[in-house]
Amino acid sequence: MKIKLFIDFDGTLFDTKCFKAKIFGVFLELGFSAEEIEKSYFEECRDYLYNPIDQAKNLCELREFDLESAIAKLREAESISFQCVYDDSLEFLENIDRQKYEVVLLTLGDIGFQKAKFDNSGLNKYFDDALFTKLQKWEYLKDVVGAGEKFILIDDRGDTCAKVAENFPDSKTLEINRRQSAPDPMEPKDDYRGIKIKNFDEAQKYL
């Protein structure tokens, strides 16, 4: 039986700082200040279900603009999300031992938005399955893996890795800490004490 290898998307395979710049660029063109954009971004991230279209609608309450035109530009940014895939992501996915691992995307967030980014990233063909959830991953996994099942999770959030390791003692969790990634405004202080890596080259030795 193959081992499930769960891989996160944002901040793990996908450079959120790169994509955030594209989204913020749309709002800057509309005349909003960086402070206004950042504040609305923080508010939209509170429930972990960020969607730039919802952010645009909230900004529209501050100042009127052509919302439909802005949404079209945001959709365009989604369509070129492949430009924000980390350089080592593709090589890593290509070199995974497919006889040993079942490769599964596991991403938390607004399901429609996450799916659009993933579908346009060019990475979907390297996954056996893709799971999109609004639940925290340690809760969602309770319905995905069997009792005592061994699996691996690679995620950029230390709190997620800590909770998964706590709830699934037979799992192996790897926190990937990419310095260039945009910080998650909702992520609590990182107290994860497990395996920490900086890139996918370092991940290889744990597979």
31 and 93 inside one domain: no
21 and 66 inside one domain: yes
Q: Which residue has the tokens 């069997």?
A: 146
63 and 100 inside one domain: no
CB-side exposure of 75: number of CA atoms within 13 Å? 6
91 and 74 inside one domain: no
Instruction: In whole angstroms, give the CA distance from residue 64 to residue 206.
Output: 51
Categorize the per-residue pLDDT at 181 as very low, low, confident or very high, splitting at 50, 70 and 90.
low
106 and 25 inside one domain: no
67 and 89 inside one domain: no
Average pLDDT over residues 174-196: 73
Residue 147 CB coordination number (10 Å): 7
- Which of 82, 104, 130 finishes a domain? 82
Q: Is residue 17 classed as helix, strand or coil in its secondary structure?
A: helix
- Which of 30, 48, 82 finishes a domain? 82
Q: Which amino acid is at 95?
A: N
Instruction: In whole angstroms, give the CA distance from residue 13 to residue 9.
Output: 5
**Structural domain tally of the chain?**
2
pLDDT value, residue 108: 97
**pLDDT tens-place string over residues 16-33:** 999 999 999 999 999 999
Q: Which residue has the tokens 């004490």?
A: 193
Contacts of 96 (CB under 8 A, 6+ apart): 5, 103, 126, 207
Categorize the per-residue pLDDT at 180 as very low, low, confident or very high, splitting at 50, 70 and 90.
low
125 and 194 inside one domain: yes
107 and 188 inside one domain: yes
Instruction: In whole angstroms, give the CA distance from residue 101 to residue 84.
Output: 26
74 and 138 inside one domain: no
- Which of 63, 82, 101 finishes a domain? 82
CB-side exposure of 149: number of CA atoms within 13 Å? 17
CATH number at residue 149: 3.40.50.1000
**pLDDT tens-place string over residues 87-116:** 999 999 999 999 999 999 999 999 999 999
167 and 71 inside one domain: no
Taking a C-beta distance cutoff of 8 angstroms, is the pair 194, 173 a contact? yes
Q: Which residue has the tokens 């509309």?
A: 30
Angle among Cα 2, 4, 5 to the nearest 5 degrees reads: 125
Average pLDDT over residues 151-175: 95
Range in 126-135, 158-167, 178-187 the model is least confident about: 178-187
Categorize the per-residue pLDDT at 146 as very low, low, confident or very high, splitting at 50, 70 and 90.
confident
98 and 136 inside one domain: yes
Residue 188 has pLDDT above 60, yes or no: no
pLDDT value, residue 62: 86
Categorize the per-residue pLDDT at 6 as very low, low, confident or very high, splitting at 50, 70 and 90.
very high
Q: Which domain holds residue 72?
A: 17-82
Average pLDDT over residues 38-67: 91
62 and 77 inside one domain: yes
